[in-house]
Every structure is written in structure tokens, then in C-alpha cells.
């Protein structure tokens, strides 16, 4: 059993997941499991992180949230190696750039909703082995029904329909999981990282930077570290962002 806190991050090789891994592993007392669908990308992320000033430890885990066999193998490995997960960060997500119609809907829901739900459910028994468990679903303000229906909100503007729908479903899932898990001592959060640089919207410079509007994923990661280190406990059960809470 690891004495460090065991943090598992899905989609940890890139963007918000990578920044979160870096921020947490640069603190002492954490073991970060980089859970990645492509083990090579996971290993590259690990080498890059180990070349920085890390104070914790790292491992890489093959985990495709759309593949049930991959999920069950990953659960078994973590169970054997650590016997628990202290913080589960369900971060893997997509906007399925370049696709359209049914294919786009299927891909976005397969990753952001079905994948997030099934991988989280599979790891909940290991979370319940922790003395202080946290479950963080990486959502988006674009999934907030409250903001989408508020004409004064910048988040009510039209695009990204399929992605918004997937994050609204993820939020409902988080609400339901919180009802079930809060009495078992699990602090459950939906978290919006804000508009930040990543390949979520595609690989071009314009897509990565959201036409120059995207911020630094390290700022999102610092807020996730605040959650993990207990500084946002009063917001457990809520939809949080860096500076406060959003309506569901």
C-alpha cells in the first residue's frame, strides 16, 4: 500500500490532464497514475514530467474509457498495486473535431458520457477504500443548463451543441453520484477548467488557442490541486470553477 495519496487522472497525457498531473506531482506526498489510452503517449508524458522538479511519484496505466476490457484490466492493476484510489479525476473528453452528424454525437457521448460513467463506476470500489476520497468530473460551463438559459451569460451563445449536451448529461451523472456517495465520505465535484489551451478543439494553432482566447491549463490545474488538498471542501457536491460555483 502506498503511503502517498494515490491520484488517478484519465486522459493525463495532454492538456488539462497533463497540467493537473504536473501540478500535483510537483507537490510532496502524491503518487499520480497517468491513465492514458495510448501507452506510448503516457510514457512520453511520464518522461517529460520526470525531467521536471517532481516531488511525488508517477506511473502509467493503459486506460481507454471507451473500452470495457481496458477499464477492467486497469481496475485490477490498480487494485493489485495500490489497493485504493484516493482521488479519481475523470478528465478524458473530446469535442470530436472534424466529425459531423450521428458520428459526431456518438463519439462525443461515447467518451464524455458513457466512458466517464462506466470508468468512474468501475473505480468507485477502490475510491471507497480511501480514508478521504475525492471524485472530480471534469465538466464544462457549456454543460450548465442554468448558464445556457441565461441570456446575460457569455456561456449562452449558440455553438457546440453536442458537446454541451454531453457535459449536461455528465453533470446530471455527477449530481446522482454525489447523492449516492456523500454519505460514504466521498467528496464529489464537477469542475470546469475554463477555456484553456489544449487539443480538445483540434490540432491547429487557432483550435488549440481558441482563436487566441484560451488561457493556461496550469491555472485550471492549480484549482484542481485546491480541491484535492481540501481547500474547496465546502463546495463538495457542487459544480465548481476556479473562482466559485456555476449553476447546474
- Among all residues, which ones are annotated catalytic? 163, 167
User: Which segments of 101-159 does DSSP mark as H helices, in order?
Assistant: 101-109, 116-127, 145-148
Nearer to ligand NAP, 129 or 248 (CB): 248
Please tell me whether residue 155 binds ligand NAP under the rule CB under 6 A. no
Name 212's Cβ contacts closer than 8 Å, sequence gap at least 6: none
Please tell me whether residue 130 binds ligand NAP under the rule CB under 6 A. no
Please tell me whether residue 144 binds ligand NAP under the rule CB under 6 A. no
Show the site string, 170-189: x = touches ligand NAP by CB under 6 A, - = not.
Answer: --------------------
Nearer to ligand NAP, 62 or 129 (CB): 62
Using DSSP's 3-state secondary structure scheme, residue 158 falls into coil
Please tell me whether residue 192 binds ligand NAP under the rule CB under 6 A. yes
Please tell me whether residue 190 binds ligand NAP under the rule CB under 6 A. no
Nearest C-alpha neighbor of 61 from the set 42, 87, 46, 45 = 42
Strands (E), 11-155: 30-36, 57-62, 87-90, 134-138
Among 87, 200, 224, 240, contact with ligand NAP (rule: CB under 6 A): 200
Instruction: Determine contact, residues 137/173, Cβ cutoff 8 Å.
Output: yes
Q: Cβ of residue 183: shortest distance to ligand NAP, in angstroms?
A: 27
CA triple 186-189-193, angle to 5 deg: 145
Could you give the CA distance from residue 238 to residue 248 in angstroms, rounded to a whole number? 8
Show the site string, 7-46: x = touches ligand NAP by CB under 6 A, - = not.
Answer: ---xx-xxxxx-------------------xx--x-----
Which residues of the chain form contacts with ligand NAP (CB under 6 A)?
Answer: 10-11, 13-17, 37-38, 41, 63-66, 91-94, 111, 115, 138, 140, 192-193, 195-196, 198-200, 214
Amino acid at each position: 500500500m502506498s503511503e502517498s495519496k494515490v491520484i488517478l487522472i484519465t486522459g493525463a497525457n495532454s492538456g488539462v490532464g497533463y497540467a493537473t498531473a504536473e501540478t500535483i506531482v510537483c507537490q510532496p506526498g502524491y503518487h499520480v497514475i497517468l491513465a492514458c489510452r495510448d501507452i506510448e503517449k503516457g510514457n512520453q508524458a511520464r518522461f517529460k514530467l520526470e525531467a521536471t522538479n517532481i516531488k511525488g511519484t508517477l506511473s502509467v496505466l493503459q486506460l481507454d474509457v471507451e473500452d470495457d476490457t481496458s477499464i477492467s484490466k486497469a481496475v485490477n492493476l490498480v487494485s493489485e498495486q495500490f489497493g485504493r484510489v484516493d482521488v479519481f479525476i475523470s478528465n478524458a473528453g473530446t469535442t470530436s473535431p472534424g466529425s459531423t452528424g450521428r458520428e459526431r454525437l456518438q463519439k462525443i457521448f461515447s467518451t464524455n458520457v458513457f466512458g466517464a460513467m462506466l470508468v468512474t463506476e468501475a473505480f468507485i470500489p477502490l475510491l471507497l477504500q480511501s480514508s478521504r476520497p475525492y471524485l472530480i468530473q471534469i465538466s464544462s460551463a457549456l454543460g450548465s443548463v442554468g448558464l445556457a438559459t441565461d441570456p446575460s451569460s457569455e456561456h449562452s451563445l449558440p455553438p457546440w451543441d453536442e458537446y454541451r449536451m454531453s457535459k449536461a448529461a455528465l453533470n446530471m451523472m455527477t449530481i446522482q453520484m454525489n447523492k449516492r456517495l456523500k454519505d460514504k465520505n466521498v467528496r464529489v465535484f464537477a469542475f470546469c477548467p475554463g477555456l484553456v489551451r489544449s487539443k480538445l478543439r483540434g490540432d491547429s494553432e487557432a483550435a488549440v488557442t481558441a482563436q487566441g482566447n484560451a488561457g493556461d491549463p496550469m491555472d485550471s490545474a492549480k484549482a484542481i490541486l485546491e480541491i484535492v488538498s481540501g481547500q474547496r471542501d465546502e463546495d463538495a457536491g457542487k459544480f465548481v470553477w476556479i473562482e466559485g460555483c456555476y449553476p447546474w
